[in-house]
Amino acid sequence: MSISRGRVPAAPARVEAAADGCSSQAGVAAGRGLLRLALAATSWGTAGAAAALVFRQGQLGPVALSFWRYAGAIVVLLAARAVTGRGWRRPPAVRRVLVTGAGLAVFNTAYFAAVQDTGLAVGTVVTMGANPVVVAIGARALLGERLGRGGWTAVLGALAGLAVLMLGGGQGAGAVRPAGVGWALLSAAGAAVVTLGSRFARDGGADEDPLATTTWAFGVGAVCLLPLAAWQGLWPHTADLGRTVALIGYLAAIPTALGYALYFAGVTVVRAATAAVVALIEPVATAVIAVALLGEELTVTTVVGTVVLIGAVAALAVAEARTAPVG
């Protein structure tokens, strides 16, 4: 078989064009993923505020509130599926659903406990500031993602910021309390399990329906929480039951059903630590709500620790970008 000289360059050209096309498609997918994560984080910024208002109104504990959050979200997601008539492409992997559901149960309950113990602003900042650090270390150990010298420096900076924040002290709403910080760190670990589990599914080539994964994961989380919630007290004891139910309904629909559906759709196309960094939109929105609407007061030390912590996480994002594989 003879090959024309004029056609020899055509094959490399086609290969290059195909590579450019794949790169362009990957870039578009990553951009959409980042947008979905940003929208999810924005909705999450209101979740802690809704929880804080529930805690102020009645005797509903963090475990029971987490249970109702997930149970209500399941109803919303199933209703949305029935209205749209959209079926699930394929059932999610059982292992991923179990890990994600358990991680969500720990993350959400511990976060609400942190909000109850140490306030909305501090609880959220510690949770979301520590989360990228845990994710980065976990991604290095479990997924083989490089962290690099800059990344490790950022991790140490985040730990320093957390140490400064712990010295914040203060009185009343917004005071830094060790028990609340401990709950926030546990919450960060639970969130890291969810992020790393999603990344592991992506690296394993899983092509799951985010809506199905979200619904089943909420089901697992609700089942995990039900026994403790029943022991703690499932029903809120408040004179304004209607407002409490409305807050729980909002919590289930917007930052939970919608927020996590967006999150699971976006997290599979971006790097693990990048997803955690984008989620830092949440503490910024939450801090504004805590100070402006809930009357929380932050000490100078707390503010400095917060700035150092978030700055270190931003540096971690830069380190992630530099070590990201090309193509």
Distance (Å, whole) CA 101 – CA 110: 14
- Segment among 2-11, 124-133, 290-299 with least mean pLDDT: 2-11
Q: How many domains does the chain have?
A: 1
3-state secondary structure (DSSP) of residue 71: helix
Does the residue 9 lie in any domain?
Answer: no
Higher local confidence (pLDDT), 52 or 278? 52
pLDDT of residue 3: 47
Dihedral sign from CA coordinates of 73, 191, 315, 34: negative
| Residue 179 domain boundaries | 37-322
pLDDT of residue 163: 77
Whether 249 has a pLDDT exceeding 50, the answer reads: yes
pLDDT of residue 104: 93
Does the residue 113 lie in any domain?
Answer: yes
Nearest to 234 by CA among 60, 2, 46: 60
Does the residue 7 lie in any domain?
Answer: no
pLDDT of residue 107: 95
Q: How confident is the model at residue 203 (pLDDT cuts 50, 70, 90)?
A: low
pLDDT of residue 206: 54
Structure tokens that stand for 35 in this block: 């947008």
- Segment among 35-39, 87-91, 145-149 with least mean pLDDT: 87-91
pLDDT of residue 69: 95
Distance (Å, whole) CA 119 – CA 121: 6
Cα torsion for 236, 238, 241, 247, to the nearest 10°?
A: -70
3-state secondary structure (DSSP) of residue 9: coil
Does the residue 327 lie in any domain?
Answer: no
Q: What is the mean pLDDT of residues 242-262?
A: 91
Does the residue 16 lie in any domain?
Answer: no
Higher local confidence (pLDDT), 231 or 15? 231
Residues 83-102 have pLDDT tens digits of 877 666 666 778 889 999 99
pLDDT of residue 292: 81
Compute the radius of gyration of the chain from its Cα atoms: 22
Q: What is the pTM of this model?
A: 0.79
Nearest to 127 by CA among 190, 188, 179: 188
**Count of C-beta atoms within a 10 Å radius of residue 178:** 10
Residue labelled with tokens 């759709």: 265
Distance (Å, whole) CA 92 – CA 160: 39
Structure tokens that stand for 29 in this block: 């997918």
3-state secondary structure (DSSP) of residue 235: coil
Using alpha carbons only, what angle is made at residue 123 by residues 101 and 167, rounded to the nearest 5 degrees?
140
pLDDT of residue 271: 72
Nearest to 68 by CA among 257, 262, 259: 257
pLDDT of residue 1: 47
List, in order, residues 6 or more apart from 269 with CB less than 8 Å away.
29, 30, 32, 33, 202
Does the residue 5 lie in any domain?
Answer: no
pLDDT of residue 284: 76
- Determine contact, residues 92/209, Cβ cutoff 8 Å: yes
Return mean pLDDT, the chain: 79
Does the residue 68 lie in any domain?
Answer: yes
Q: How far is CA 291 from the centre of its chain?
A: 22
Distance (Å, whole) CA 304 – CA 294: 21
pLDDT of residue 145: 73
Q: What is the mean pLDDT of residues 5-27?
A: 53
pLDDT of residue 2: 45
Residues 45-80 have pLDDT tens digits of 889 899 999 988 877 899 999 999 999 999 999 998
Whether 286 has a pLDDT exceeding 50, the answer reads: yes
Does the residue 217 lie in any domain?
Answer: yes
Q: What is the mean pLDDT of residues 137-150?
A: 77
